[in-house]
Each structure stands twice: as structure tokens, then as C-alpha cells.
Structure 1
Amino acid sequence: MLSEKSMELSRKIIILIYGRAFSFILSLIIPLVLTRLLVKDDYGSYQQLIMIYAIVQAILLFGMPQSLLYYFPRKEISDRSLLIKQTWSILAISGLLVITLFGITSQTMESIFPDHHLQPFIFLLGIYIGIMLSVMPLQNLLILEDKETTAMWSMICFTVIDIIILPSAAWYNPTTLGMVHGIILTSIIKFVIVIFYIYKNYLSKLETRESYYQEQLAYGIPVGLTAMIYVININIDKYMVGLFFSSSVFAVYYLGSLWAPMFGWITQSASQVVIPRMSKAHNNNDLLQIRELYANSVEKLAFIFLPATVLLALIAKPLILTLFTDNYEDTVPIFSIYLLLLPTYALNLGWILMASGQTKFLLRLAMFMSIINIILSYGFLTTLEGDNRLLGIPFATVAVTWISTIVVMYKSLNTLESTLSESYHWKKMVTIGAISALSAIPIIALLSLELENKIFLISSIVIYGITFLFTSFKFNILNDNEINLVKSFLPFKN
């Protein structure tokens, strides 16, 4: 039986997952339109700029969104306005820094690499990054305020802004420059919304208190560096492809590698709810509560990621061809390899280490894994031949991620002073895996019918979903409590 407290916690997570899932589905409109309006070279260059944005943003956020999850539940209500002021002050300074650095970089590239295809966009990219730094912590703040529904709608609202502006920019000016102008416009709109919210709720009510910038940065910077290295780790393959292959090959590769990391929004939703509670429990030295939160989270995430891995593996080719046309058929094997990452999202949870302040360990681990990933990726690239050169690169990323997962699990158990059997619901997780595999049998039968792609996709998703949910209910993986839980957040309430 789920306790009332556990039900409420799960409900908060479901609301966030719903928001991110709906936003993700909506956001698919963007690549669908862009791959049809932009030539491959322009689309590939645009995605290379977005990749640079992801890396630079990760470090120059200085771990401020995560530091909110750590400090907010530990501070008195009267002290929280100061925390918000510090957080956004750091981000404002960081934003000015990145704009300046990218301006200098653009001038340097113009002198040294005047013909580089990304040089004309570097300064504009710096402006985009500088603005977006102040946008990123909003959802964490809303969740900490117990405004999960508002956080959900903010995700959807920001996605709608992207959907309206980015395809319009591509239609008006179907070049990389047109897309850069589009993302800058979206960032300005989001920035105005965020600043209005924090000024109204915090900055206008600020009282004079002693600041603790150094303490917050001491926690946040290792988190920011870890996030940067994590982004590098999952993008090392793309760097290699960008260096050794053309922009058109990069565009194909990017679409194949895009999907698995995108599902990180599910674990992100859970972490935003669970980490603050773990932090508070750790502050009270309540390891038993942390272990309970951890075990329940892993089980519920396994219920999502294990069947998702099986289903997506079965529908990979028709899904890619339907969404991105036959021009991107070479994306399918890359997509399939990346699916091996999905189960790690249920296990590679650094939440316990984050909640207990072990951010430096996570940084060292990320750096070590990054080095291994670079060696493996380059090794596969230079030793394999033909198509295997390309396919060996994502395999390196998958292998390194699984090694990191095992290390994080071991360190988390040490922190909890617990064992594998105590910290994981293994019986249920094995049952979920078995049900996921058995539910694939009807889909394998459908493959032999050679149905049209769209019909096969719809039929496969519906049949697999019904089979998996029905079997899960029969084996008591799902029960009345979970069904009532789903009903409880319709309509959404804070």
C-alpha cells in the first residue's frame, strides 16, 4: 500500500513528467519542420551551435539550479529572498561574462579561421547563452515552492514559444543565421517572464541579511563542472563526427543520438521533487528515509524505462522514417545503439550524493569517465572501417555510461550504509523486465505483416501499451493505488 505521503510525492512527480512529456511531444514539431525547411548543412550547423550552447550553459550556470534544490529546503522562509537574489546575481554576472567571451572568440576566429562555417554565429550564440542562463532555474524554484502545476505550465508555455518562433524563423530565413535570430528572440521573451516572476515574489521583498555567495558557489561550481562534463560525455561522439565527417552526416547522426538523452526529462522531474526531500532528511541524519525514497524512485523509473527500451527498439525504423523522411534512414542504427542508455536512467541516480553534498566526488567521476570516453571514441574512429567507424562511436558513450552507473550505485550504497538487497526492489524490477520482453511478442508478429509505417507505429504502441499494463496489473506491479494516483491529479491541483 502506498502511504498518503508517498502518494503525494508520486503525484508531484507525475505532474512534472506529464508536463515534460507533453512539451517533448510538442517540441517534435520543431525538427519535423526544420528538417524540411533547412538543407542538411544548415540544419547540421544549427545543431552544432545548440551543442555548444548545452556545454557552455552547463558550466556557466555554476550549479545554481541544483544549489536551489540543496539550500532552499534548509533555509528559513525569511532567508529565501536572499538566496534568490544571490542565485540570479551570479547568473547575471555569468551571462555578461559569456557574452564578452564569445565576442572575443568570434573576433579571434575571424582572424585565424575566417572561413569556419560557425564563425559568423559565435557572438550571437553568446548573447543567447547569456540570456538563457537567467531562465534555467525557474522550474526548480517553482517546484521548491510546491507549485508543480505552475512549473508544468511553464514548461509547456516555453515550448509553445519555441514552436511558434523557430519554425517561423526558418520559414522567413531558411538559413543557420535565421535560426540563431529565432532562438535569441525566444530567449528574450522567456527572460522577461522569469525576471518579472522573481522580482514580484522575492526581490521586491528583500531584507538586508548577511550573504553567503562563497558557500553557495562552493556547492554549485562542482555541480556545474559535473554537468558540463556530463554534457561533454554524451556529446563526445558528436564532436568526433563533427570533426571527421561532413555537416550532412552530422545532421543524420544528431537525430539518431537525440532521443535517449531527451528522456532525461523523466529523471529530471523526479530529481526536482526527491532531492530537496533527501537533502532535508540528510540534514536530519535520517538515512532510512533517504533509502526509502531512493528504492521507490528506482522501481518507478524502471517501470518507465525498461518497457520504453523494448518498444522503441521494435519500432525504430518506421519511427525514424515517418518523422524525418527516407533521407534519414541511416539514423536508425545510431538510434538503436543509443537505446541501450535508457535503463541507466533508472539506476544512475546521483541524487543521494547530491543531497549529501558529495558534489566533488561526482565531478572527479565525471572527469575520469570523460577521459575514458574520449579514448574509446577516438580508438573506434581510427581502428574501425566503413560504417563501423560511425557506429563504434556511440557504443563508446553507452559503455562509459554503464561504467559510471555502476560506480554511482556503489557510492550511493556506501553513503546509505546499506546493501544492494536493502536499497533496490530487485524482485519487482526483474518482473518489470520480463513483462517488457513478453509484451513484445505481439509486436514481433506485426512485423511480419509488412504494414505501412504509420499504421504499424500506431498499432504497435497501442498493443504494446495495453499488453504491458494488463500484464503488470496481473502480476501486481500495478494495483488500485497506482490507478487512483493517476486519477488524483486530474484535474491538476497544487
Structure 2
Amino acid sequence: MTLLKESAFSLFGKAYQSVLALVFVMFISRFLTENQYGTYRQALLVANTINLILLLGMNETISYNYRIIDTIKRNQLITNMFVIKILVILPAAFILLLSRTSLSNFMNNDLLNDYMPVIAALTMIYAFESLLESYYFGSGQAVLMGKLQVLSYSIHYSFAVIIILLSKSEFYLIVEIALFELIKSVVMLTIILRKETFRFNFNWPYLKELVRFSFPMGVSLILITLNVYVDQMIVSANFSTEDYAIYNNGAMNIPIVQLLTVTVGSIVLPKLAKETTEKSFEDGLLLWRGAATNTALILITFMWLFMIFTKGYVRFVFSERYLDSIPIMRVYLLRYMITFAIYCHLLMVIDKKKYIAVISLLGIVGNIILSLYLIRIFGMIGAAVATVVIQYFVNFMEIFTVTRFTKTKFTDIFEFKRLAKILMTSGSIAAIFALISTLLPLGDILNFFVYGTLYILTTFITYFASGQIDKSLIQVVLKGLSSLKGA
């Protein structure tokens, strides 16, 4: 199965989940008050942040190693990773419960104190589920993962809607999420045990080897995670729950679009490792650069769409109550011009993981200082500006470090001419439709759907006509999607 086919399979399941999530956000943003909605988002912020910290590089360790080791090593890999996960998650959940009063005070929301037992349970479930997902990606089970995503999230959001209609309670919603993720994890584990002949094979020397591999990466990912969420934590600590709800909507990654980077990155990493190990870094870089450029084509195109028609999107998804999210969202959209690839993967395959930690530490310190400073000047939007500035700084430092140790050039990592052409093509067409929507307005929401759709169609037709999209690429994607139907 090719890289593009695997990406298509995995992306389909997650895209379906994102569409349902978007519809659900539209629903709860209207049925819950700003305070309830903000509390719900804060609860997920805590669970997701702790979960990502507890990854400790274990998911990447499985994805990186699974395809390049034998069966015995695979048994040891999975066994040891689960042992490490248990050793870190139980104390973490206990600490979370002990510090719930302090944490709720920090986030300016006393309700979190009462909700913390459920949040702690959800965090534990997330941690184990993410480990299971890394197996599916690492072992090439993207088709199966896609099917599981479609079925499980259809059931989840159906129950969630019923709960909101009956109770209008964010607490019961959080409980439902925890129960759903638990059942999903059990199903995923059962499928793995039936498909694979895993044997419990704990190996202390191999565990130490894995810790040496994953710990530097884990420290790096902890810092990267804090860098991602630090602005939301700062806003939550300095503003009301209602204000946080507004900021969170603006900072929320647009469903489907953001999945592209994560999904392609999850599938590229094991293939990048294999290419680099069996051939050379240059061969791996060629694969990585192609995936990055194709992802950039989509992200940059959608960046212009949401930049121009932000008001219609916010009105449609979040309702009139959250129009103050618009400037925050526009600032966040600027990240799309750099976040079309996961740059730390390049440092991982050349065994320079410690530099990921150093760069990320600089990023988080810079983000905290800059966010606190800009908040005093510009209010909440200052945190968004700081986050975007630091994002560019961190990614630039990662790229610079790669070029330094591999003796490559920036032009070897980026297809600058093609990226510039993509930016100019999509930007020019976006400007035309922005002008048309001003001269012939249809209303904010209709502008988004009508002119936005015409912009996307026109842009991709132009890409195709000008040779910016390879015909063979389209054929492979269509084959991958058609294969999904019968897989």
C-alpha cells in the first residue's frame, strides 16, 4: 500500500470524525451557555494536555520501530511500552486529583474541582487509547483504523446529542466522553489481540534501550505540547470562563484541514525511518518533502478561504454569540504557511532528538513571556499573536538544526518555487472572490458557502491546469479512496 493510499484511508476515518465533531460543536454552542461551553472546553483542555504530556515519546517509538524490527522485538516493544505507560499514568492521575483545587483556581473555574475525577479518568483512557492508535499506524492498519473511527464516532455523537437534549449538562457530556473512549479502547485492544499473536514479553535490557530512545523525544513532546496549549492556559488563568470559550473557538483547529498534517505525519514517520535506515537520509528527505509540499497545497488554499470568509464560518458554526472569536481565528490561520509538516521528524531520524527538547524549551519560555506581555497590550488576541510568532521561530530553528547536521540546504528541504507558486495562485484567486463578495454580497454565511466553494473549485482547477497538481497524484488518491469502499 502506498503512502498516499494509507494517508487516504486514515484521513477518511478522522475526517468523518471531524465532520461529526464540527456538527456537534454547532449544536452545543447553541444549547449550552457560554459558561457551560467554556467549562466543557476547559475540561478537555486539561485532559488533552496531560495526555499529550504522558505520551513521553512512546507513540512515536512504536510508529518508528514497528516496521523495522522482527516479531520477537515487536512483542517486547508493545509489552514494554504498556508497562511504561502504566508506571506513568497512575501517579499522574493521582497527582491530578490531589491538585484539583489548585488547578480549578488557576483556571478561574470552581466547577473543574468537582469534575476532576472524571477528567482524571478520561486522561488515563486517552493515554492508553493513543498507544493503541500508534500500533494501527505503525503496523499499516490504516484501513481498519478508518472503519473504527467511522463506526465509533457515529455512536458517540448520537449519544452525546441525546444527553445534551435531555440534561443540558456539560458534566454528563464529559462523563459520556469518558465512557465512550473506554469502550472504544477495549474494542481496539480486542481487535489487536485477535489479529496479532502477541505474547507478553517483558525485556529489561530492551526496555532501557527504548527509554533511551523515547525519553529525549518524550521530553521534547512534553515541551511541544505545553507550547501548543500555553496560550490557552494563560487566557484561562487571566480571563473569565466565558472569555476562554471565545478564545478557544478562535484557536480551535479547523476540522479536516488540520487532520492532514497529523495523519500524513503519522504515516510518513515510519516510512521516513525505513527509507533513512535502508537507503539514506536524502532518500527519506525526498519522501518527506513531497508529502510536505502536497500538504501545503491544501493547507494554504484553505487558509485563504477561512481568512476571507471567517465571519460566515463563525456565524455558521459557533453562532452570533462568538463573533469575537473572528480576529483570534484569523491570527491562528497564519500558522498554515509553516505547519504543513512535522519538522521534528527529520531530527528524529538523524538521531538529534535532544535538539527538539532544547528548541521546544526555548519556544515555551518565549511563548509564556511574549503571551503575558502582548495580553497586557492587546488583550486576548495578544496570546494568539505570541503563539504564531513562536510557532515560526520553533520551526525555523528545527529546520536550521537539520541543515546544520546533514549539510543540506533550505532548498533541499523546501520546494520554495512550488510553495511560492501555490501561495500566489491561491492568494490571487482568493482576492478576486473577496472583491466579488463585497460587490455582490449574499450574506456572511452564504458568502462562505457559495463564494467559498467557487474559490476552492477555481483554485484547484487552476492548480491542475497549470501543472501544480500531478495527474498521477489524483489517480492514486482516487484509487486509494475507491479501495477503501471494498476494503
TM-score bin, normalised by smaller chain: over 0.9
In structure 2, what is the Cα distance between the partners aligned to 1:77 and 1:203?
9
The equivalent of 1:465 in structure 2 is 456
Equivalent pair of 2:5/2:481 in contact (CA under 8 Å): no
Structure 2: segments with no counterpart, 5+ residues: none
Where does 1:369-388 land on structure 2 (aligned, <5 Å)? Answer: 369-382=363-376, 384=377, 388=378
Specify which of 107, 121, 125 is matched with residue 127 of structure 1.
Answer: 121
In structure 2, what is the Cα distance between the partners aligned to 1:366 and 1:108?
26
Shift of 1:438: 2.0
Deviation sequence 1:133-171 (CA, Å, 0-9, x none): 111123331222222211222333343243123333333
Specify which of 315, 328, 338 is matched with residue 344 of structure 1.
Answer: 338
In structure 2, what is the Cα distance between the partners aligned to 1:210 and 1:100?
26
In structure 1, what is the Cα distance between the partners aligned to 2:107 and 2:232?
21
In structure 1, what is the Cα distance between the partners aligned to 2:275 and 2:471?
29
Q: Rate the CA distance shift 1:221–1:203 in 2: closer, same or farther, 3 A.
A: farther
The equivalent of 2:440 in structure 1 is 449
Alignment of 1:85 with 2:79, yes or no, is yes
Structure 1: which amino acid aligns with 2:474?
I
Deviation sequence 1:233-255 (CA, Å, 0-9, x none): 22222222212211111111110
Where does 1:356-395 land on structure 2 (aligned, <5 Å)? Answer: 356-382=350-376, 384=377, 388-395=378-385
The equivalent of 2:157 in structure 1 is 163
Specify which of 407, 410, 416 is matched with residue 426 of structure 1.
Answer: 416
Shift of 1:211: 5.4
Shift of 1:283: 2.6
Structure 2: which amino acid aligns with 1:484?
Q
The equivalent of 1:52 in structure 2 is 46
Deviates more, 1:348-357 or 1:321-330: 348-357
The equivalent of 1:22 in structure 2 is 16
Structure 1: which amino acid aligns with 2:231?
D
Q: CA RMSD in A?
A: 2.5
Specify which of 50, 69, 76 is matched with residue 75 of structure 1.
Answer: 69
The equivalent of 1:490 in structure 2 is 481
Structure 2: which amino acid aligns with 1:304?
I
Where does 1:291-370 land on structure 2 (aligned, <5 Å)? Answer: 291-347=285-341, 349-370=343-364
Alignment of 1:399 with 2:364, yes or no, is no
The equivalent of 2:111 in structure 1 is 117
Question: How many correspondences in the alignment?
Answer: 484
Shift of 1:185: 1.2
Specify which of 216, 225, 228 is matched with residue 234 of structure 1.
Answer: 228
Q: Rate the CA distance shift 1:246–1:36 in 2: closer, same or farther, 3 A.
A: same
Q: Rate the CA distance shift 1:351–1:158 in 2: closer, same or farther, 3 A.
A: farther
Equivalent pair of 1:55/1:231 in contact (CA under 8 Å): yes
In structure 2, what is the Cα distance between the partners aligned to 1:360 and 1:18?
34
Equivalent pair of 2:16/2:150 in contact (CA under 8 Å): yes
Structure 1: which amino acid aligns with 2:441?
E
Q: Rate the CA distance shift 1:167–1:92 in 2: closer, same or farther, 3 A.
A: farther
In structure 2, what is the Cα distance between the partners aligned to 1:148 and 1:180?
28
Shift of 1:209: 5.9
The equivalent of 2:398 in structure 1 is 408
Alignment of 1:481 with 2:472, yes or no, is yes
Equivalent pair of 1:85/1:203 in contact (CA under 8 Å): no
Shift of 1:120: 0.7
Structure 2: which amino acid aligns with 1:430?
A
Specify which of 284, 291, 294 is matched with residue 290 of structure 1.
Answer: 284
Structure 1: segments with no counterpart, 5+ residues: none
Taking structure 2 as the reference length, the TM-score comes to 0.92
The equivalent of 2:132 in structure 1 is 138
In structure 1, what is the Cα distance between the partners aligned to 2:131 and 2:35?
33
Equivalent pair of 1:260/1:341 in contact (CA under 8 Å): no
Equivalent pair of 1:59/1:228 in contact (CA under 8 Å): yes
Deviation sequence 1:338-393 (CA, Å, 0-9, x none): 101111112552211122332221111111100001110111122x1xxx312222
Q: Rate the CA distance shift 1:444–1:218 in 2: closer, same or farther, 3 A.
A: farther
Equivalent pair of 2:100/2:113 in contact (CA under 8 Å): yes
In structure 1, what is the Cα distance between the partners aligned to 2:183 and 2:33?
28
The equivalent of 1:151 in structure 2 is 145
Where does 1:272-291 land on structure 2 (aligned, <5 Å)? Answer: 272-284=266-278, 286-291=280-285
Equivalent pair of 2:14/2:256 in contact (CA under 8 Å): no
The equivalent of 2:94 in structure 1 is 100
Equivalent pair of 1:222/1:359 in contact (CA under 8 Å): yes
Taking structure 1 as the reference length, the TM-score comes to 0.91
In structure 2, what is the Cα distance between the partners aligned to 1:115 and 1:369?
28
Shift of 1:108: 7.3
Shift of 1:468: 0.8
Shift of 1:257: 0.5
In structure 2, what is the Cα distance between the partners aligned to 1:414 and 1:302?
24
Q: Rate the CA distance shift 1:207–1:243 in 2: closer, same or farther, 3 A.
A: closer
Deviates more, 1:70-79 or 1:258-267: 258-267
Equivalent pair of 2:39/2:111 in contact (CA under 8 Å): yes
In structure 1, what is the Cα distance between the partners aligned to 2:285 and 2:136?
26
Q: Rate the CA distance shift 1:107–1:150 in 2: closer, same or farther, 3 A.
A: same
Structure 1: which amino acid aligns with 2:182?
I
Q: Rate the CA distance shift 1:112–1:268 in 2: closer, same or farther, 3 A.
A: closer
Shift of 1:262: 7.4
In structure 2, what is the Cα distance between the partners aligned to 1:183 and 1:154?
16
